Amino acid sequence: MATNQQSKSRFPYFNRELSWLAFNRRVLEQAESNEYPLLERMKYLAFVSSNLDEFFEIRVAGLMQQVKSGVIERGPDGLGPKEQIRRIQNIVRRLVADQYRCWEKQVMPGLKAANVIFSDFDGLTRNEKKWVEQYFDEQVFPVLTPLAIDPAHPFPQLTNKALYILTSIDDPETRIIERLMAIIPVPRVLPRIVKIEAARRGNPEVYIFLSDIIQRYVKRLFPGYRVRSAVPFRITRNSDLYFDEEEVENLLKKVEEELMNVQKGAAVRLEISKGADPILVQELLEALDLKPQNTFTVDGPINLFRLMSAYDLIDRSDLKFPAFTPFISRELSSPERIFDIIRQKDILLHHPFDSFQPFIDFINQAARDPDVFAIKQTLYRTSGDSPIIEALIEASRRGKQVAVLVEIKARFDEANNIQWARQLEDVGVHVVYGLVGLKTHCKACMVVRQEQGNLRRYVHLGTGNYNPKTAKLYTDLSYFTAKTEISAEVAGLFNTLTGFALTPTFKKLLVAPFTLHKGIQRYIRAEARNARAGLPARIIVQTNSLVDQETIDNLYHASQAGVKIDLIVRGICNLVPNVKGISENIRVRSILGRYLEHSRIFYFENGDSPQPHIFAGSADWMPRNFYRRIEAVFPVEEPELRQRVQSILRNYLEDNKNAHLLRANGAYYKPPRKKTASSHSAQQTFMHDADKRRQSQAGELIEKQEPQ
């Protein structure tokens, strides 16, 4: 915990970057847990690497840029960029060492016992070595291009996160050890993990990393020379996009140009396997303008994110989570009735426990229904073979008015979204890129349908992206309604995004950057007033990140007023809980399990009113979500839906299996379980409930079909 000496606030705050690293440590703990199947543990190891990549590309890169420019920005925690970088590097070294130790000492041996073997070359049988040699000669050697580094061959431009082999060679005919440097780029078309198709007693599946194969036969690329060392490495570059939208005439073209520049961004990290020639490593650092402290030496294969491809390669259901089928109610199983059902009542779905298929049916039916005149939708991230894109294209071809807000600045999805934007434009869809200076992050879809001579709007709002694949992996809420007071405001939201509106009016929705931040502060302060007046006061928040200082300060004030506050924060949390006199009424928990917790739900007790204020939407409690993004948060008002959300939150607060509680010193710990208490996992409870609903529905169907 650190206190900002320059801040006017007397409150304590955690550092954002160090809090994020604590989250990634909890991801690693999933890989270390014996409660998960082995291949799922392997996948968590891959997530740790993927998370670190993005962290260095954006957050560490930004800190390094601050240091280089001399602009020192301190957050509310008081840490400057140099100190943050120093602490980050120390924490990451320990984290990565533990990650590789988990792979080498826990996951690999466990997989081997299950007849799935990851081996280096020396551990292969004679037949397997012959197979690997043939594979190298036929599949690898023809596409490798060694690059000599000398006065006649300048240092090459190394691509962000690509795999390279740093090779030290010398002429055996001379007495001098030259230490000539050569770099071998490994083409992305080559699989990083290779399954060896050679028989072994017991018929195990045997895999080897591509880098091990190249290291073994690298001397064939330098005939006549002695190879002293050959070590895989990769660099991470600053991958943030920098441009002034107000000075850009064509945003699409500018983003494309910046994506090309990202591959040339400043280097921020060097990852290299042990055994490299230290002199060549120093030369490499100088060429990359990096210091030794930016080097991370690993004892094992570079980039464990490559294990994700092995997860798909290995067809062993016994080593993965048991298959789960999301629930879909009978009434939502008939796509042709989707509009009738929504017109009759609001619908709330909890993914992935409830199927995402009803939304796919909703958009497909809108595309085909002759009574539908218009479709408007936001797209922040979607899947590569998205049925949603196909439906929007079909709707446009059928002559419907289709407008799509494509966020082409969605980090790391820029290229995909540009592709979708062009495909949609080619069939006449009105594609808009949102408002200047703001990312369109809200999840909204509106269908306009003619019914009995009048136009009726049908709306979907959600907490997650319109991505059928992540809808099976992330927990999110989906809300369907035809209520005029909500649908009219969603229509106003779309008009704001596609046209001009300086001060749009929203009474039901909380919309950033217009009303969301003020609205959240108003509800927090109202709970504090209720507590001081002796009325019931409670706040429950589920979010991915809690960073905004004013919001944190108001939560501190509410705690001091006696409001009981439970925060379910998956990732970054700058608020310090359990500090006497400041936050002793605040508990913070993080839940990591089979599914990625992604819902944003906000609960305010509302005094002695029988109707608490409950909201859900797309926004985390961060400055970027409050001020630099278009976000939409919707009220949950129907009694049945409100009860369901309260049940969801109650299950999370009762979780004693996947939850970690945050201490005032920044450490997370597993909550102690009472001897009389049974193990409770919120996610498992939701899955069990979905199974029960499915069985009950099937039983009802059988009863109806049986003759009387």
**Region 605-627 average pLDDT:** 96
The highest-level CATH class for domain 515-695 is: alpha beta
What single DSSP character describes residue 337? G
Tens of pLDDT, residue by residue over 140-190, are: 999 999 999 987 778 899 999 999 999 999 988 887 777 899 999 999 999
CB 511 within 8 A of CB 492: no
| Beta strand 347-351 pairing with 372-379 | unpaired
pLDDT score recorded for residue 263: 56
Please report, rounded to a whole number, the percentage of residues in the chain having pLDDT higher than 70: 92
Number of residues that this document lists for the chain:
708
Do domains 16-319 and 331-508 share one topology? The answer is: no
Q: Provide the whole-model pTM.
A: 0.92
Q: Give which of 198, 225, 230 is closest to 214, Cα–Cα.
A: 230
Q: At 418, is the pLDDT very low, low, confident or very high (cuts 50, 70, 90)?
A: confident
Between residues 90 and 499, which one has the greater pLDDT?
90
Q: How sure is the predictor about 414, in pLDDT bands with cuts at 50, 70 and 90?
A: low
pLDDT at residue 412 tops 90: no
The pLDDT of 421-432, averaged and rounded, is: 87
**Tens digit of each residue's pLDDT (9 = 90 or more) over 229-275:** 999 999 999 987 554 444 444 555 555 555 455 556 899 999 999 99
Average pLDDT of the residues in 510-521 = 97
Tell me the pLDDT tens digit for each residue of 643-694.
999 999 999 999 999 999 999 999 999 888 776 678 899 999 999 999 999 9
Distance CA 49, CA 46 (A): 5
Residue type at 76?
P
Domain residue ranges of the chain, discontinuous segments joined by +: 16-319, 331-508, 515-695
Tell me what the mean pLDDT of segment 499-520 comes to: 90
**Which pLDDT does position 101 carry in this prediction?**
97
pLDDT at 342 > cutoff 60: yes
**In contact, 602 and 615? CB cutoff 8 Å:** yes
* Per-residue pLDDT tens over the stretch 30-52: 999 999 999 999 999 999 999 99
Architecture of domain 331-508: 2-Layer Sandwich (3.30)
Backbone angles phi, psi at 184, to 5 degrees: -110, 110
Residue type, 87: R
Please give the CATH architecture assigned to the domain spanning 16-319. Answer: 2-Layer Sandwich (3.30)
State the DSSP string of 654-706.
H--SSEEEEPTTS-EEPPPPPTTPPP--HHHHHHHHHHHHHHHHHHHHHHHHS
Q: In the structure encoding, which two tokens stand for residue 628, read together?
A: 């630099």
Beta strands, E only, 189-323: 193-195, 205-209, 226-237, 267-273, 295-298
Please count the other Cβ atoms lying within 10 Å of the Cβ belonging to residue 476. Answer: 27
Q: What tens digit of pLDDT does each residue of 189-222 get?
A: 999 999 999 888 889 999 999 999 999 999 999 9
Q: Which residues are catalytic?
A: 441
